[in-house]
Amino acid sequence: MKKITIRFFVVVTAFAFLLVATGAIFTVHETEQVVITQFGKPIGDPITTPGLKFKVPFIQKVNVFEKRILAWDGAAIEMTTRDKTYIIVDTYARWAIEDPLLYFLSVQNERRAQSRLKDILGSATLDAIASHELAEVVRSDKTRKPAVEEEIAEADQSGAIGNLIPIRRGREALEKDVFTASEPVLKEYGIKLYDFRFKRINYNTVVQERIHERMISERKQIAERFRSEGNGEAAKILGNMERELRRIKSEAYKEVQTLMGEADAKATEIYAAAYNQSPESVEFYQFVRTMELYGEMLGGDSTVVLSTESDLFKYLKEVEPVLEPSGSAGPVAE
């Protein structure tokens, strides 16, 4: 009986020790950090190193928090810019628990931390958007210029077409403004903000139709301008072509006349050399040329009136008259 009692006592003691040991030992992983509380109040410093740790069983509680960088994805919120344009802004951020003890005392869990991030980042985003023009929100930087071959022109309020509207800061500067305004506030909750970005910026559905109509109108103006410039350039090219063609024809005609003049001069020189060998050859040349001229003058229907003293009649005067036969000479004188 005594042995049974001893065994029972040993079993109960071992079970109690195991139960106590199980509640007193816990493991901290590399991705975790722990705050131990006793009756709801933090005890000691936060545990940030991995390994086996000890606590008082049943009295103390282990509160585990994430040690890695966490994501915050904000909801798309409608906002208005300084130029009264309604846009829908979708944001996101990256954050981590920097001070687990302060984090536990202020927000206690991740759900409440996400709520604080929504309030703080959302408020800072609303202030940044409301104090800048739409161009400042959507443009990436203040030095961006459209490429010459892909020039993006847009109409201003007067309807004139110009280049991209100049900006002072740009979207990246606005993101830094939100980060700078939110970071010290979040530190009060034990949260470290690593990054903040605009994920997407859309127009309001009502404004979007008006923007599309304006874009269509602008592109039509740009197309008309390009057509006008193209027609002007085409007219310029055609004018240059006509001028060049006339120049080429003029030079060719000049060259032809020059060659013909040189040929006539050469032919005249050859003729002169051939017919100036003796007086008889000169006279024969004059006779031949005159006969050719007679053929040209008298062979057609032309009427030529010349004086009888003209040199053209030189050879005609020397021709002897043809005597008529005696039978047809005319009436016989009595």
pLDDT string in tens for the chain (334-residue length) = 566 677 767 666 766 666 556 677 888 999 999 999 998 899 988 999 998 888 888 888 999 999 999 999 999 988 889 888 888 999 999 999 999 999 999 998 999 999 999 999 999 999 999 998 888 888 876 555 543 444 444 434 444 444 556 778 888 899 999 999 999 999 999 999 999 999 998 887 777 777 778 888 888 888 998 999 999 999 999 999 999 999 999 999 999 999 999 998 888 888 777 777 777 777 777 777 777 777 777 666 767 777 767 766 666 666 565 555 555 444 444 3
Residue 107 CB coordination number (10 Å): 19
DSSP 291: H
Residue 155 CB coordination number (10 Å): 17
Task: Provide the CB-side half-sphere exposure for 99 (13 A, CA).
Answer: 12
Considering the chain, tell me which residue range(s) the CATH 3.30.479.30 domain(s) occupy: 70-203
- Fold assignment, 70-203: Tetrahydropterin Synthase; Chain A (3.30.479)
DSSP 3-state of 306: coil
Q: Please, are residues 207 and 85 in contact by the beta-carbon 8 Å criterion?
A: yes
Q: How far apart are CA 100 and CA 104, in angstroms?
A: 6
Within its chain, how far is the Cα of 28 from the centroid? Answer: 54
Within its chain, how far is the Cα of 29 from the centroid? Answer: 51
Within its chain, how far is the Cα of 8 from the centroid? Answer: 87
178: region left, alpha or beta (phi > 0 left; psi from -120 to 50 alpha): alpha
User: Residue 78's beta-bridge partner residues?
Assistant: 88
